[in-house]
A = this chain, B = another copy of it.
Amino acid sequence: MDFVTLRKNNGIATLILNRGKVNALNGAVVDQLRAHLKRLEAEPDVRAVILTGSGKFFSFGFDIPEFLAFSKKQFTEYLVNFTDLYTYLFLFPKPVVAVLNGHTMAGGCMLALACDHRIMITGKAKISLNEIGFGSSVFAGSTEMLRFWVGNANATAILYSGAMYQAEEAKALGLIHEAAAEQSLLAAAEHAAALLGAKASPAFASIKSLLRKSVAEEMRQREASSINEFAEIWYSDATWANLRNIKIY
């Protein structure tokens, strides 16, 4: 199954998450996304990448019903795979514009935070790191990326509350860069991708690395222990009971 669709136009590659109604993330999505990115990184004619979702969701986050069948060891392997992907995306040498076409939750929000520029649809769609709401923690890397964009005070407010934000609130917090109505979302994305893609590639890659490499080192250094703590909490009785009540379809 292809859960990630690729389109190319004028040096801009668009990757579209396309898995069920909510683009729930699992190992296959992570693997396909990485494989696409690896190819796009190597293609000289690709100047910028747009990452978006199909339907009413950018992504709901993890496919929780699927993961309920996983052993802790299997789930931990997925978490390593997932956090490796967002770290790779965070350091991707070409510009990546996230187009948040709908709800952007938990793991979906983490992928978006790894990009260079986030444009979110106005209206009912929400963005959230809502893990605390169902008794889950987050990861060291996702915390660092959040801190990178919004600072520690807003990161604290976002993670402690697990609140869901519409585009304008998200922009005020620094979670996104632009809010755009549905009819102008695509044009805004292509404009942003074209602007960043027009920069000299070696200079862009070098500057991005100067801004992010030390952050990524911090992410990598703390990720393994944070994954273990995340899994401990995930498999605790109280959190497990919450997870069993989550419906994603």
Chain A residues close to B by CB (< 8 Å): 95, 116, 131-132, 135-140, 143, 147-153, 155-156, 159-162, 174, 195-196, 199-200, 202-204, 206-208, 210-211, 214-215, 218, 222, 226, 229-230, 233, 236, 238-239
Main secondary structure of the interface of A (DSSP, over half): helix
Whether the pair A233, B153 counts as a contact (CB closer than 8 A) is no
Q: Are the CB atoms of A207 and B151 closer together than 8 Å?
A: no
Taking A132-B199, A203-B135, A233-B206 as contacts, is the C-beta distance between A152 and B239 under 8 angstroms? Answer: no
Which single residue of chain B is at the shortest CB-CB distance from A202?
B233
Partner of A233, one of B151, B156, B199, B203: B203
Looking at A195, A218, A222, A233, which has the most chain B CB atoms within 10 Å of its CB? A233
Number of copies: 3
Enumerate chain B residues within 8 angstroms of A203, measured Cβ to Cβ. 131-132, 135-137, 233, 239
User: Are B152 and A200 in contact (CB-based, < 8 A)?
Assistant: no
A218 to B215 alpha-carbon distance, docked (Å):
12
User: In the assembled complex, how far is the CB of residue A143 from the closest CB belonging to chain B, in whole angstroms?
Assistant: 4
**A161 to B215 alpha-carbon distance, docked (Å):** 21
Contact indicator B210/A160 (Cβ below 8 Å): no
Beyond A200-B239, A207-B159, whether A153 also contacts B150 by CB under 8 A is yes
Known: A132-B203, A202-B137. A160 touches B196 (CB 8 A): yes
CB of A202 within 8 A of CB of B135, answer: yes
CB neighbours (8 Å) of A239 from chain B are 200, 202-203
Which among B135, B140, B153, B215 is the interface contact of A174 at CB below 8 angstroms? B153
Q: Which of A149, A207, A210 has the most CB of B within 10 A?
A: A210
Q: Which B residues touch A153, using CB under 8 A?
A: 148-150, 174
**Complex formed: what's the CA distance from A195 to B214 in Å?**
35
Chain B residues whose CB sits within 8 angstroms of the CB of A204 once the complex forms: 132, 160
A204 to B174, CA, bound (A): 22
B155 touching A211 by the CB < 8 A rule? yes
Q: Are A152 and B152 in contact (CB under 8 A)?
A: no
- How many whole Å from A152's CB to the nearest CB in chain B? 5
Q: How far is the CA of A207 from the CA of B143 in the complex (A)?
A: 8
